[in-house]
Amino acid sequence: MATLGVNIDHIANVRQARKTVEPDPVQFAFLAELGGADSITVHLREDRRHIQDRDIFLLKDTIKTKLNLEMAATEEMLKISKKLLPDYVTIVPEKREEITTEGGLEVKNNQKYLKDYVNSLKSSNIEVSAFIDPVHEQINSAEEIGFDFIELHTGKYSDLKGQEQYVELQKIIESTYYAIDLGLVVNAGHGLNYQNVRNIASINNINELNIGHSIVARSLAVGLEKAVREMKTLISTN
């Protein structure tokens, strides 16, 4: 059964819209854990549009589960992560103009740089994941670089309907087994919601699903603890 990582970036989005102190994502991480979250995910972006440096260090000191730090492979983020020492880091692509992450990390054409970067993180006993598209070439490169995990990008699956979504689902399933055969641990995430998550959660050997926007949106109606609990139930009843 897959575990649930809850991304709380969108709590910080609300705070930063007014440049004030509330809502505090650190407090909401506690509610997510009460609801059954197995880990807390935050993306510290270069432009600090939502999560702030203060947030990640308080989260590290206060959460009871695991901290997954999403970040771009920059020198600034390398220094921060080696000071923070999260449970694991997920390397993601990042563009200033994007609203949210638009696709998987290009690992195939950046192997030398990423290998050195990953080795530096692992030298500080930080496990490292690559957020990539479900493509064999990217999976092969992730394994060659030395990533411990991959997180398969489910955004395309989430955007499609009907037969096209089914085809994309088969690609994710096949990529999961392919990566596991290479010795990688497989996570998945992006765009997953209460309507489409069960097909992904039912894939054998998926380690963790990372979900944020849908849970935070649902929490506006029912509260974060209950929203997390509802998602956890969907994931665990396959």
- 136: annotated active-site residue: no
Per-residue confidence (pLDDT) for residue 101, from 0 to 100: 60
Per-residue confidence (pLDDT) for residue 1, from 0 to 100: 87
CA gap 58, 88 in Å, rounded: 16
Q: Return the percent helix, strand and coil in the chain, to nearest 5.
A: 50, 15, 35
11-20 contacts at long range (C-beta below 8 A, 24 or more positions apart): 11/216, 12/42, 12/50, 12/51, 12/52, 12/55, 13/49, 13/50, 15/50, 16/49, 16/50
Per-residue confidence (pLDDT) for residue 98, from 0 to 100: 53
**Predicted model pTM:** 0.95
- Active-site residue, selected from the candidate residues 43, 94, 151, 168: 43
Residue 99 has pLDDT above 90, yes or no: no
- 190: annotated active-site residue: yes
Q: Which domain holds residue 153?
A: 3-236
Q: DSSP 3-state assignment of 229?
A: helix
Q: What is the mean pLDDT of residues 23-51?
A: 97
Instruction: Quickly state the pLDDT bin for 13 (edges 50, 70, 90).
Output: very high
- 43: annotated active-site residue: yes
- Active-site residue, selected from the candidate residues 33, 50, 70, 168: 70
- Active-site residue, selected from the candidate residues 94, 190, 208, 225: 190
Per-residue confidence (pLDDT) for residue 52, from 0 to 100: 98
Could you give the number of structural domains in the chain? 1
**C-alpha torsion angle, residues 103, 109, 113, 118 (rounded to 10):** 50
Q: What are phi and psi of 127, to 5 degrees?
A: -75, 150
Q: Which residues partner with 114 through β-bridges?
A: none
Residue 38 has pLDDT above 70, yes or no: yes
Q: What digits encode the pLDDT tens for the residues 139-169? A: 999 999 999 999 999 999 999 999 999 999 9
Q: List the CATH number of the domain containing 72.
A: 3.20.20.70
Q: What are phi and psi of 110, to 5 degrees?
A: -135, 35
CB atoms within 10 A of CB 205: 11
Q: What is the mean pLDDT of residues 170-199?
A: 98
Q: What is the mean pLDDT of residues 71-89?
A: 98
Per-residue confidence (pLDDT) for residue 97, from 0 to 100: 56
